[in-house]
Every structure is written in C-alpha cells, then in structure tokens.
Amino acid sequence: MIGRHLPSLALLLVLLAGWEAIVRLAGISALVVPAPSAVATVLWDGLTVGFLWPHIWITAAETLMGFGLGCVVGFVCGVALGESERLRHLLWPYVLATQVVPKLALGPIFIIWFGFGMTSTVVITALICFFPLLENTMTGLQAASPEKRDLFRMLGAGRWQTLVRLKIPSGLPVVMAGVRVAIVLALVGAVVGEFIGSGKGLGASIIAAQGMMDSTLMFALFVAITAMGLLFYQLTLLFERWLLRGWLKGKVS
C-alpha cells in the first residue's frame, strides 16, 4: 500500500524542493509565488492558532449539505425520469436547459432569494451535484439485462419490486460513478459559491486574502481545499467499495 504510493510521494518532494530552490535563487517576490516553506508556516499557524478551522468547517458543511441535497434530489428525479418515458419527454429539455446555464451566473439571484451566506452556497452546490446524479441514475436504470427483466416478470414481480430489487441495484455502479463526479464538483461549487455569496469559508477567505495582497495565505488556503477534496473523494471511494462489495468480490477472483 505504502510502497505503491512511494514514487508519487517522492515526486511531490522533488517538485516542492525545486519550487523552493527556484523561488529562493531567483528572488521571486512572495506576492507572485510564495515559497512552499512560507506557505507551510502560514498553514501551520492557521491550524494551530485556529483561525482557519471555522472556515474549514463552514466550507466542509456547505460542501456536504449541497452534495447531499443535490445527490438525493438528483437520484429521485433520475429514477422518476428513468421510469416514466412521458415524464422524460416532458421535462428533459427543461432539465437540460437548467444545466447549460452556468450555475455560478445564478449566484447573484440566489443572494437576492436566499440572502448572503451559507444558504446560497448550499443551493449552488446542490444544483451542481444534481445533474451528474440525474443523468447517471437515468442511465443506470437501463443497465439490467433483458433476461433479468424477463426473470422478474416470470417471478411475478411488480413494477415497484422490479425497480427496487433489480433496476436500482443493477444501476448502482453507474450511479456511484456519478456520486464520485458530484463530490469533486461539490467542493468546487462551495468554494466558488463563497466567492460571490458569502463572507465565511475557505473561498471567502481567498477573496479576503486577495484583498490583503497575501499570496502566501491564498496558497495555504489552496492546500487546505485540496486536502479536503482528497479526503472527501477517498471517503466516497470507501463508501462505494462497501456498497458494491458483491460486484467487487466477483472481480477479485
């Protein structure tokens, strides 16, 4: 496990050392590109003194709430549209239109509707997560083979049973692929949502750092956001492995 990650870890160290060396030797201003050591110091201070933590919690909360809301609504709508052809024909153009609109462009109107703060950011994040779940759920529901559908008909399964016991489980790998896309987009949505609609959180802190011309702090915030994204993605992967353990067991042997 560790051995597999060793080369990429070594590469990281080499890159950081190179960066540090170039910044120091060329005398590049910290305003343009700060040295990794300076970034690490600011990040360490932020975490130990604690002024970063409230922002981290807020961004994490916005990301997870938006992600949860978007995934649930996207999944439910995906099931509804996947099951009913009439509904699909009726609503699909509208769904597509709402997704083609850049959601961040809706930020200003959300601020009017939901106020300046967390709610606007959560709504933007949820909207961003909605589409990958909707689309992957609709696709996933078609994944069950015709033979399995015939099997369920032979066994006298009703429509609801076929949905819950055949179509949704068959589609889960595809749905989970959508969830993985959504968690990454959710963090982007939350951070960028904070740019326009919030005074707190890591995204809002980036704007504040920009105002103070503090590039070192901005880089420290990038690192915190990246770490959070990696953590969320890994947790999603773990959840997926647990959920799809039956399929995966088959693949191992």
Partner 1 sequence: MSIEPAFLSVQGVSYTYDDGSDVLSEIDWTIPAGGFYSLVGRSGCGKTTLLKLAAGLLQPTSGQVRIEAQTVAGPSQKIGFVFQTPALLEWLPVLDNVLLPISLHRRVQPEDRASALELLDLVGIGDLAGRYPGQLSGGQQSRAALARALIGSPPALLMDEPFAALDAITREELQDDLLRLVALRRTTVLFVTHDIAEAVYLSDRVAVMDRGRIALAAAIDLPRPRGGDCRYDPQFAGHCQRIRSAMAQAQAVAA
- Answer whether 133's CB lies under 8 Å from 70's CB: yes
**Least CB distance from residue 84 to partner 1, whole Å?**
22
Q: Assess 250 for contact with partner 1 (CB under 8 A).
A: yes
- The 105-144 contact track toward partner 1, x by CB under 8 A, reads ----------------------------------------
DSSP 54-99: HHHHHHHHHHHHHHHHHHHHHHHHHHHHHH-HHHHHHHHHHHHHHH
The span of 9-17, 28-36, 89-97, 240-248 binding partner 1 (CB under 8 A) equals: 240-248
Tell me the C-alpha distance between 248 and 253, whole Å: 9
Token duo for residue 252: 């191992």
Tell me the C-alpha distance between 14 and 45, whole Å: 24
* Beta carbon nearer to partner 1, 59 or 170: 170
| Three-state SS at 33 | coil
For the beta carbon of residue 57, count every other beta carbon within 10 angstroms: 12
**Least CB distance from residue 62 to partner 1, whole Å?**
33
Q: Where in 138-177 is the site for partner 1 (CB under 8 A)?
A: 145, 147-148, 150-157, 161, 165-166, 169-170, 172
List of residues 6+ apart from 135 with CB closer than 8 A = 78, 178
Q: Assess 247 for contact with partner 1 (CB under 8 A).
A: yes
**Least CB distance from residue 178 to partner 1, whole Å?**
18
Tell me the C-alpha distance between 196 and 191, whole Å: 9
Token duo for residue 65: 């709430």
**Least CB distance from residue 30 to partner 1, whole Å?**
54
* Beta carbon nearer to partner 1, 24 or 165: 165
**Least CB distance from residue 155 to partner 1, whole Å?**
5
Q: Which residues bind partner 1 (CB under 8 A)?
A: 145, 147-148, 150-157, 161, 165-166, 169-170, 172, 244, 246-247, 249-253
